[in-house]
Structure 1
Amino acid sequence: MSSPRPSRSGRGHRDARGVRVLVTGASGTFGRAVGARLSGLGAHVTGLDLAPGPEDPVEVLACDITDDASVTATVAEAIGRMGGLDVLINNAGVGGPAAAELAPGGEARRQLEINLLGAWRVTAACTDALVASRGRVVMMSSRMAVMQLPLAAAYGASKRALVAYADALRLEIGTHVGVTCVYPSAVRSPIHDSTAAAGLSLEGVSRYEPLEGVVDTVLRAALGRRVRRDLATTRRGAVELFLARHLPSVTDRIVARTLAGRIRGGAFDGAELAAGLTERHRSAS
């Protein structure tokens, strides 16, 4: 990474000026916010997105991260334009309903392809440049990587697998590149739209957190003076992360109790994917 200068943030960050950053999913809610913040601090930010928007705060190149050739060519173009790479932020991700009791269909495959394999492809295309700069990789994971919610099996599986990939990557290139996983909880964004449309809203199951806190944490991972392995985005998230890793039976009971209350309240009535779940809960009571 570029030689650090005294931080202007007062939070122990390196100076962002001149730092070369690549952000995937750069036209989405998280990507736009991260890109705008880093650019405002003086970083040279390039984004990748399947559908760049006309009002993106940074330059965004069209890229399909599910396509090997698209990733190889577009990442090379981005790195060439910036003259190297110091930080990769694997932010691109999609969500949607998927019941664990049902066979995986197109929705499950889509989430695994984008959330896990897309990040893997982009990282592989960036590895040489990151090793050369002794840079960093930031993986946008999720609280659901460690604390699963029902009826979202594909998303949780993809994010847990992303953490496993990050762990393997850290062992392979950690002598030269810092690798950090960030664990936000729920933030209001279009990623939840398909779940809500299926009658499986997160309202009452997850506590929403502010976008700014997620952006702050991503910057801490990308620019902090010390490389952190894992970073929660709130104090509550840090507690959940600790409990899920060290006392998983406790978090299982918390989620199960919340779920049972939602079912008793009729939250999933009429939701096809939840039909088996609600029937089993009601017959067991």
Structure 2
Amino acid sequence: MTRVALVTGASSGIGEQTVLQLLDAGMTVYAAARRVERMAALADRGARVIGMDVTDDASMVAGTDRIAGEAGGVDVLVNNAGYGSYGAVEDVPIAEARRQFDVNLFGLARLVQLVTPGMRERGYGRIVNVSSIGGKFYEPFGAWYHATKFAVEGFSDSLRMELRPFGIDVVIIEPGPIRTEWSGIARDSLLETSGSTAYSAQARRAHGVLEEFDKPSRSAPPEEVARKIVRAVTVRRPAARYPVGRGARVITTSRDLLPDRVFDAVVGRIYGSRRP
């Protein structure tokens, strides 16, 4: 039986590559994103394109209803939509902080609510939540982004235990630095938010660090993450989480092993966030 997959954030980067690789794996794939015009190439490859905003409940309901009507429902949900908005906590408007949670967590959770009943009835489902190594460690100016990813980790772990008795697997993908639009959006928002405040010197230092992680020697292509997602979707018994990308496993493991004071010192040395 051909599985039906829904991939959010499909207009670029990890989402786009995941759609292509799931198509190659023989699945019926619905590619969802706000920027429908950017998914023409995916449609040409055989993807079914859906305009969807994960902060708009009506668009999520309409999208999942369409899939149910055309294909019988979603067997595989890849919650990939998300972004990083950076800036000092003092400077970031609470409205922007809420939007981070709306996109990165609550949209993800709402889609889970919409597709779970059908998966439960069929006795099969695979939910893949794209988190980040940023759900395991921390850095200055990324407080709201990291908060959303820590939340995705806890949400997914609890969800996995709830849905396991119904034959539904929940998997967390934890990318490290990946060469996508994400880094540019994050570092640009950092300077826009805190580049002219009391945090300006630190913000410029952090901007440079984020630029470094865009270099091929420090990051991985989105295709690498997509391959890991396809593995998580197609293996009989997936792992609970998959770190992926350059240094991802090293960073998550070191965070588990190092005391807070030592890890603070490491992060502070990189970002210049040390006590005078």
TM range (shorter): 0.7 to 0.9
Runs of 5+ consecutive residues of structure 2 not aligned to the other structure: 192-203
Pairing partner for 1:242 from 239, 253, 262: 253
Q: Which of 130, 141, 144 is the equivalent residue of 2:134?
A: 144
Tell me how far apart the structure 2 counterparts of residues 141 and 129 of structure 1 sit (CA, whole Å). 24
Deviation at residue 27 of structure 1 after TM alignment:
1.1
1:194: how far off? 2.9
Structure 1 stretch 207-216 or stretch 154-163: which is displaced more?
207-216
For 1:61, what is the secondary structure of its paired residue?
strand
Distance 2:236 2:265 in 1: 38
- Say whether residues 1:203 and 2:215 are aligned partners: no
- Alignment partner for residue 182 of structure 1, among 173, 188, 206? 173
CA contact (8 A) 2:18 2:223 kept: no
Match of 1:94 in 2: 83
Q: Which among 34, 37, 42 is matched to residue 50 of structure 1?
A: 34
Shift of 1:103: 5.6
Higher helix proportion: 2
Structure 2 residue 239 is matched with structure 1 residue 228: yes
Q: Is 1:22 matched up with 2:2?
A: no
**Separation in 1 of the partners of 2:180 and 2:247?**
20
Contact 1:205 1:258 in 2 (8 A): no
1:266 alignment counterpart = none
Q: Which letter maps to 1:255?
A: V
Within 1, Cα distance between the matches of 2:184 and 2:149?
Answer: 19
More displaced stretch, 251-260 vs 111-120:
251-260
Which residue pairs with 1:256 in the alignment?
268
In the alignment, what sits opposite 2:196?
Answer: none
Q: In the alignment, what sits opposite 2:118? A: 129
Asked if the contact 1:112–1:158 (Cα under 8 Å) also holds between the matched residues in 2, the reply is: yes
- The DSSP-based 3-state class of the residue aligned with 1:32 is helix
> Is the CA contact 1:205–1:259 (under 8 Å) kept in the aligned structure 2?
no
Given candidates 64, 77, 86, the residue that maps to 1:75 is: 64
Corresponding letter in the other structure for 1:81? E
> What is the SS of the residue equivalent to 2:77?
strand
Structure 2 CA distance for partners of 1:39 and 1:103, relative to 1, 3 Å: closer
Q: 1:46 & 1:215 partners in 2: Cα distance? A: 15
Report Cα offsets for 1:262-283 as digits up to 9, x if no partner.
xxxxxxxxxxxxxxx6xxx5xx
Gaps of 5+ in 1: 3-17, 261-276
CA contact (8 A) 1:87 1:135 kept: yes
Cross-structure match for 1:9: none
Whether the aligned pair in 2 keeps the contact of 1:98 and 1:108 (CA below 8 Å) is no
Could you tell me how far 1:152 is from its partner in structure 2?
1.2
Q: Partner residue of 1:66?
A: 55
Instruction: Please give the alpha-carbon distance, in whole angstroms, between the structure 2 residues aligned to 1:248 and 1:70.
Output: 44
Distance across 1 between alignment mates of 2:263 and 2:68: 42
TM-score (norm 1): 0.80
String of CA shifts for 1:140-180, please: whole Å, max 9, x gaps. 00010111121111111111111111122112112221011
Aligned residue pairs: how many? 248
Aligned in 2, Cα 1:230/1:129: closer, same or farther, shift over 3 Å? same
Does the Cα contact within 8 Å between 1:137 and 1:177 map onto a contact in 2?
Answer: yes
Cα deviation, residue 234, structure 1 = 3.8
Asked whether the equivalents of residues 85 and 133 of structure 1 are also in contact (C-alpha less than 8 Å), the reply is: no
